[in-house]
């Protein structure tokens, strides 16, 4: 389907917006009037610029407070409209959005509204222009889409149709099934926006919190299905007012927008039983590995100290920055064994059970650089990602190296699609020696069995984009969303998982003032966390994040929790499905580890304990060295 977007949805000058929108592959734009008014480009220049960029001008908008007014006001309104028709002729735009009046001049009289809209359509026709009448959710007398349609039908003019806007329809809780009562050729335009469910004034909600389809909670696939049932053949067009998008890079926002429309078109096709425009997602069945970049290896007193069983430093007093541990020492302390090294690159493979970590010594500060995902069809995974505009990464393949299909996530994290040790498929593990020579797998020395989840921190403005990416490309489903107090800010978090829970990812925003704290962590599943915690606390107490005693006093007030939780420094959560025990290591660079044990059918992430973790991390002092400035996006 033809895809359009309103210029108000992305940031910049009108010229910058058009360039970014064209680069993302859109077919057309809605020119938002204010963007034209403040532009130094004449309407003729905008027309030429759009044409050169391959963009049609599908709509000029909005024209306000026109209909159902007393005669003297009507004359002024028609004069105002004539001026806009002139601008549209210069622009080469043939469709004008008229939204239902919010003026105190407006009279609650559908016949009058219809009569005046018919007059407007007749005037418009003289300029080759048509009118799309839309019910604003906060219109004075007309605020339901079927009411707007009733007036359009009453007016009965070929140059007058209705415009449907998903926000105005769904924010009021109206049932979109009524759309099917409208003939497709009278649906002159379709504007799409999603939104998070917020209990707030609908005007404020609309002006600041709209988002792209799939980033909110509206059932847009359902709405689009009803619109397509009418026979509507116009564009799917995004109209999104969002404070974040206003500040973000226009090119990036436009790509995000296009990705949302492609996914929406797919969802609507599935709903209607027609052929989706893109291949289906290939759902990963788990983590193949996590790759951490680390600085090139140097002899380290700390590493020796850890391997000799000593803690890297005293756990108290808090608040003092300390030297972070070496990641290899941390992995060794957690029971991982180095099972192989890459013959051609400074990369080590560390294993325990099915948990595999690569240490890539070409980095700077320790950070999560890549994630390996087990895919039943790696090539299919990449095709899916490509169809949703994700960059496919070139792989320099050495002789004897397994080819790895990889893409880049929006934040630059590399995602590799793997079939680890699968018959008939080359395995990335074959690249490592002595691993390749059939070394036995590392035993689960500390009871760690696999990677439970990976948590990635996203810059604030790119959070919704990342969520849409993981949802669309990997087929994950949004799970828990929450806000957690941090001593110096607020952490926002969204968990996503495959339907069977085999792949879990958490996206965080951790904002402190203008700073983004880019912590990332790998949660390792464990089958007996009490035993693991016993051993770790005995051998490497300094590696565990200290938990304040006050936490256990409160835990005792809330639950009959076993007293050994306090001795072991374990955190505890419980819901109606089961229990969750977990602990955290201290932070190395941007990275830390969590060890978790799920009991029963607990599906969460211990959110209730997140404030304790955040405060302990700040107290430990690791954050000062691992903060980085948010890059301004404009």
Of 23, 36, 402, 530, which lies in the binding site for its own copies, with binding defined by CB under 8 A?
36
Buried b (16+ CB within 10 A) or exposed e, 370-389: bbbbbbeebebbbbbbebbb
Could you tell me which of 478, 463, 356, 460 has the C-alpha nearest to residue 416? 356
DSSP strand pairing (130-134 vs 95-99): parallel
Environment class of residue 592 by beta-carbon count within 10 Å: exposed (0-12), middle (13-18) or buried (19+)? buried
Using CB under 8 A, which of the segments 299-307, 353-361, 384-392, 626-634 binds its own copies? 626-634
Q: Which stretch binds its own copies (CB under 8 A): 165-173, 275-283, 376-384, 623-631?
A: 623-631
Kindly state whether residue 318 participates in binding its own copies, applying the rule CB under 8 A: yes
Stretches 9-17, 159-167, 446-454, 471-479: which one binds its own copies (CB under 8 A)? 9-17
Can you read off the two tokens belonging to residue 320?
A: 């003092």
* Cβ proximity to its own copies, 173 vs 513, nearer residue: 513
Contact status: 486 vs its own copies (CB under 8 A): yes
Contact 30, 259 (CB under 8 A): no
Closer to its own copies by Cβ: residue 231 or 487:
487
**CB-wise, 2 or 558, nearer to its own copies?**
558
C-alpha 221/C-alpha 229 separation (Å) is 12
Least distance in Å: CB of 39 to its own copies? 6
84, 140, 271, 345: which one binds its own copies (CB under 8 A): 84
Among 49, 147, 153, 246, binds its own copies (CB under 8 A): 246
Asked if 512 is part of the footprint of its own copies (rule: CB under 8 A), the reply reads yes
- Is the preceding peptide bond at 529 cis, omega within 30 degrees of 0? no
Selected range binding its own copies among 8-16, 260-268, 288-296, 593-601, rule: CB under 8 A = 8-16
Contact call for residue 322 and its own copies (CB under 8 A) = no
Give, in degrees to the nearest 5, the angle at Cα 497 between 581 and 591: 60
Binds its own copies by CB under 8 A, chosen from 100, 328, 511, 532: 511
- Cis peptide bond N-terminal to 239, omega within 30: no
Asked if 285 is part of the footprint of its own copies (rule: CB under 8 A), the reply reads no
11 binds its own copies, rule: CB under 8 A: yes
Beta-bridge partner residues of 456: 507
Residue 39 touches its own copies, criterion: CB under 8 A: yes
Residue numbers 455-474 binding its own copies by CB under 8 A = 461
Residue 540: Cβ-neighbour burial (10 angstroms; 0-12, 13-18, 19+): buried
Within the chain, what is the greatest distance between any pair of CA atoms? 91
HSE on the CB side for 90, CA within 13 Å?
A: 13
Please report, in angstroms and rounded to a whole number, the separation of the first and last CA atoms in the chain. Answer: 30
Between 356 and 618, whose beta carbon lies closer to its own copies?
618
Question: Does position 546 bind its own copies by CB under 8 A?
Answer: yes
Q: In the complex with its own copies, which residue's Cβ is closer, 36 or 302?
A: 36
Q: Are strands 520-526 and 591-600 parallel, antiparallel or unpaired?
A: parallel
| Cα 406 from chain centroid (whole Å) | 19
Work out whether 630 is an interface residue with its own copies (CB under 8 A): yes
Using CB under 8 A, pick the residue from 48, 181, 556, 599 that binds its own copies: 556
Residue pair 21/46 in contact (Cβ under 8 Å)? The answer is no
Cβ nearer to its own copies, comparing 443 with 487: 487
Residues 149-208 that bind its own copies (CB under 8 A): 198-201, 204
User: What is the rounded radius of gyration, in angstroms, for the C-alpha atoms of the chain?
Assistant: 29
Is 320 near its own copies (CB under 8 A)? no
Q: Give the number of other CB atoms < 10 A from CB of residue 25.
A: 14
Nearer to its own copies, 201 or 567 (CB): 201
- Cα 488 to Cα 511: distance, rounded to the nearest angstrom: 8
Q: Summarize as ranges the residues that interact with its own copies (CB under 8 A).
A: 11-13, 16, 33-34, 36-40, 42-43, 79-80, 83-84, 86-87, 198-201, 204, 243, 246-248, 316-319, 461, 485-490, 511-515, 546, 548-551, 553-554, 556-558, 611-612, 614-616, 618-619, 627, 629-634
């Amino acid at each position: 389907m033809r895809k359009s977007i309103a210029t108000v949805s992305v940031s910049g000058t009108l010229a910058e917006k058009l360039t970014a929108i064209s680069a993302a592959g859109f077919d057309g734009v809605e020119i938002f009037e204010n963007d034209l008014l403040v532009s130094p480009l004449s309407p003729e220049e905008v027309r030429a610029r759009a044409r050169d960029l391959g963009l049609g001008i599908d709509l000029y908008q909005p024209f306000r407070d026109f209909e159902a007014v007393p005669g003297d006001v009507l004359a002024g309104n028609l004069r105002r409209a004539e001026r806009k028709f002139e601008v549209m002729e210069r622009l080469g735009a043939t469709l004008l959005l008229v939204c239902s009046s919010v003026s105190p001049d407006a009279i609650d009289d559908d016949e009058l509204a219809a009569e005046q809209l018919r007059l407007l359509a007749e005037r418009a026709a003289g300029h080759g222009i048509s009118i799309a009448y839309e019910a604003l959710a906060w219109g004075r007398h007309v605020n339901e889409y079927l009411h707007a349609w009733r007036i359009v039908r009453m007016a009965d003019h070929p140059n007058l149709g209705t415009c449907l806007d998903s926000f105005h329809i769904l924010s009021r809780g109206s049932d979109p099934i009524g759309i099917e009562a409208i003939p497709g050729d009278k649906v002159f335009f379709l504007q799409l926006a999603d939104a998070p469910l917020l209990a707030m004034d609908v005007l404020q909600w609309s002006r600041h919190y709209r988002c792209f389809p799939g980033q909110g909670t509206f059932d847009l696939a359902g709405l689009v299905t009803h619109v397509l049932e009418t026979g509507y053949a116009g564009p799917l067009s995004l109209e999104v007012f969002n404070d974040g998008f206003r500040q973000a890079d226009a090119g990036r926002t436009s790509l995000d927008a296009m990705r949302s429309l492609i996914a929406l078109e797919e969802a609507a096709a599935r709903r209607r039983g027609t052929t989706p425009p893109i291949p289906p997602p290939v759902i990963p069945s788990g983590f193949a590995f996590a790759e951490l970049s680390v600085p090139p290896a140097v002899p380290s007193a700390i590493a020796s100290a850890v391997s000799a069983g000593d803690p890297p430093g005293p756990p108290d007093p808090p608040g003092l920055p300390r030297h972070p541990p070496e990641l290899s020492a941390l992995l060794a302390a957690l029971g991982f064994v180095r099972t192989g090294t890459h013959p051609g690159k400074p990369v080590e493979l560390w294993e325990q059970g099915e948990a595999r970590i690569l240490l890539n010594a070409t980095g700077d500060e320790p950070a999560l650089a890549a994630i390996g995902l087990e895919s039943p069809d790696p090539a299919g995974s990449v095709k899916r990602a490509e169809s949703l505009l994700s960059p496919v990464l070139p792989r320099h393949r050495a002789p004897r190296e397994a080819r790895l299909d990889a893409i880049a996530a929006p934040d630059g994290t590399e995602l590799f699609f793997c079939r680890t040790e699968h018959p008939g498929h080359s395995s990335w593990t074959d690249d490592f020696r002595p691993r390749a020579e059939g070394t036995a797998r590392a035993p689960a020395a500390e009871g760690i069995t696999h990677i439970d989840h990976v948590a990635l921190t996203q810059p604030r403005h790119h959070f919704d984009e990342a969520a849409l990416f993981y949802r669309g490309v990997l087929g994950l489903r949004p799970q828990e969303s929450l806000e957690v107090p941090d001593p110096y800010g607020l952490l926002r978090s969204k968990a996503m998982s495959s339907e069977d829970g085999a792949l879990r990812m958490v996206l965080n925003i951790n904002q402190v003032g203008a700073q983004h704290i880019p912590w990332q962590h790998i949660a390792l599943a464990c089958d007996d966390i009490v035993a693991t915690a016993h051993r770790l606390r005995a051998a490497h107490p300094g590696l565990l994040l200290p938990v304040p005693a006050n936490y256990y006093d409160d835990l005792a007030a809330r639950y009959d929790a076993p007293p050994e939780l306090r001795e072991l420094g374990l955190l505890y959560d419980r819901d109606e499905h089961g229990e969750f025990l977990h602990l955290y290591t201290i932070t190395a660079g941007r990275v830390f580890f969590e060890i978790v044990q799920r009991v029963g059918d607990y599906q969460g992430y211990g959110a209730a304990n997140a404030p304790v973790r955040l405060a302990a991390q700040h107290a430990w002092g690791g954050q000062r060295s691992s903060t980085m400035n948010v890059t301004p996006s404009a």
